[in-house]
Amino acid sequence: MPEAIAIAQARDAVAAKPAGEVSGLTYQAGGRFLIDSINLRIPGDGITVLMGPNGAGKSLLLRLMHGLLEATAGTVRWHGRGLDDDVRRQQAMVFQRPVLLRRSVAANIRFVLKLRGRSSDQQVEQILDEVGLGGRAAQPARLLSGGEQQRLTLARALVTEPKVLFLDEPTASLDPTSTAAIETIVRRASERGTKIIFVTHDLGQAHRLADDVVFLNGGRVAEHSPAATFFDAPASQAAADYLAGRLVLR
Ligand SMILES: Nc1ncnc2c1ncn2[C@@H]1O[C@H](COP(=O)(O)OP(=O)(O)OP(=O)(O)O)[C@@H](O)[C@H]1O
Ligand SMILES: [Mg+2]
């Protein structure tokens, strides 16, 4: 076989290998199936955007995929392994509202490095520079603006170089400038090899970021498509209605 073809085939095999495999994932509470037998193959590369109406189960699915919640049934595997402590340590999650220690900006970064037996002032400085908070290291984190606090939570998530980063509407309460800054940081992390799973309601943001889109409705996956397909010709009625600004009824 010519070498070029062998290389291309090897590359395709790697690309086809999913980062995450979700099988029969179910979460039941109060007699309702809030997550209902979800199967997903999350591509190894790029940014997977998770969309769907309020209450569709996006946040629940994210928590289940990161192991913050225990499923009623089904399995989640990342890079071929179940969700054990090692796998979870190689992941990070950012929420809509920044959750920070009431300490300095630098102390918030040092804290997660120490948990992993690492601590380097140089690393702290470098990651703060990357998110545009260089020179703010000694300030109390709570004095940062909302957008700056969210950049700090991202810095804290990324300093450990996670294999997977989950973000649950991280820019929902930020202005366009702060949103753009967060998107740049996320895109850069993706280019460096961190798998990104990003929940958003913002269609423009989904357009800007998504490589593939998972559309959830009523605890089920209505559709999982490459971004271009999803936006140009959604396969599901639920997604078509959502994109057209029509009410999505279960
Ligand atoms: N621990 C729980 N016990 C019972 N019901 C829950 C629990 N957590 C979430 N729910 C319900 O599950 C459904 C899905 O919730 P989830 O937070 O995942 O929605 P979402 O898609 O993230 O919505 P939003 O866009 O508003 O953030 C909702 O109806 C919610 O009330
Ligand atoms: Mg949510």
Question: How does pLDDT run across 73-126, given as a tens digit for each residue?
Answer: 999 999 999 999 999 999 999 999 999 999 999 999 999 999 888 878 899 999
Separation of CA 87 from chain center: 15
The reply to whether ligand 1 has any atom less than 6 angstroms from the CB of 56 is yes
What is d(CA 208, CA 245) in angstroms, rounded to the nearest whole number? Answer: 18
pLDDT at 120: 82
pLDDT value at residue 62: 98
Residue whose CA lies nearest to ligand 1 atom number 13: 55
State residue 52's pLDDT score.
96
Are residues 168 and 188 both part of a single domain? yes
Task: Indicate which residue's Cα is closest to atom 1 of ligand 1.
Answer: 29
Pocket test for ligand 1, best of 32, 34, 63, 205 (most atoms within 8 A of CB): 34
Last residue of a domain, one of 162, 178, 198: 162
**Closest atom of ligand 1 to CA, residue 69:** 1
Smallest-distance ligand from the CA of 220? 1
Return the ∠ at Cα 33 (arms to 207 and 242), rounded to 5°.
25
Q: Are residues 60 and 107 in the same domain?
A: no
What is the crossing angle of helices 176-191 and 146-158, to 10°?
10
Task: State which residues form the domain around 124.
Answer: 100-162
Q: How far is the CA of 199 from the centre of ligand 2 (A)?
A: 8
Please, which residues have CB less than 5 A from ligand 2, an ion?
A: 58-59
Q: What is the pLDDT of residue 92?
A: 96
Q: Ligand 1 within 6 A of 29 CB?
A: yes
Alpha helices by DSSP H, 38-162: 58-66, 85-89, 105-115, 121-130, 146-158
Q: How far apart are the first and last CA of the chain?
A: 51
The answer as to whether 84 is a domain residue is: no
| 148 & 115 share domain | yes
Among 111, 134, 162, which residue terminates a domain? 162
Give per-residue burial for 234-248: e unless 16+ CB within 10 Å, then b: bebebbbbbbeeeeb
For ligand 1, the distance from its centroid to the CA atom of residue 59, given in whole angstroms, is 7
Q: Report the run of H or E that residue 224 belongs to, with start and end.
A: strand 220-226
CA distance 102 to 181: 24
- Closest ligand 1 atom, CA of 34? 12
Domain count, the chain: 2
Q: Is the separation of the CB atoms in 97 and 174 below 8 Å?
A: no
* Torsional sign, CA 36, 208, 124, 136: negative
Is residue 230 in some structural domain?
yes
For tokens 């997903």, name the residue: 40
Q: Residues in the chain with pLDDT < 70?
A: 1-16, 249-250
Q: Domain ends where: 162, 185, 200?
A: 162
Determine the distance separating the centroid of ligand 2 and the alpha carbon of 205, expressed in angstroms: 16
Question: What pLDDT sits at residue 233?
Answer: 95
- Closest atom, ligand 1, to C-alpha of 201: 25
Which ligand 1 atom lies nearest to the CA of residue 61?
Answer: 18
Bridge-based pairing of strands 47-51 and 212-217 is parallel
Tokens of 250: 């279960």
Let me know whether 151 and 199 are in one domain.
Answer: no
Q: Cβ(54) to ligand 1 under 6 A?
A: yes
Say if residue 238 is in the same domain as residue 182: yes
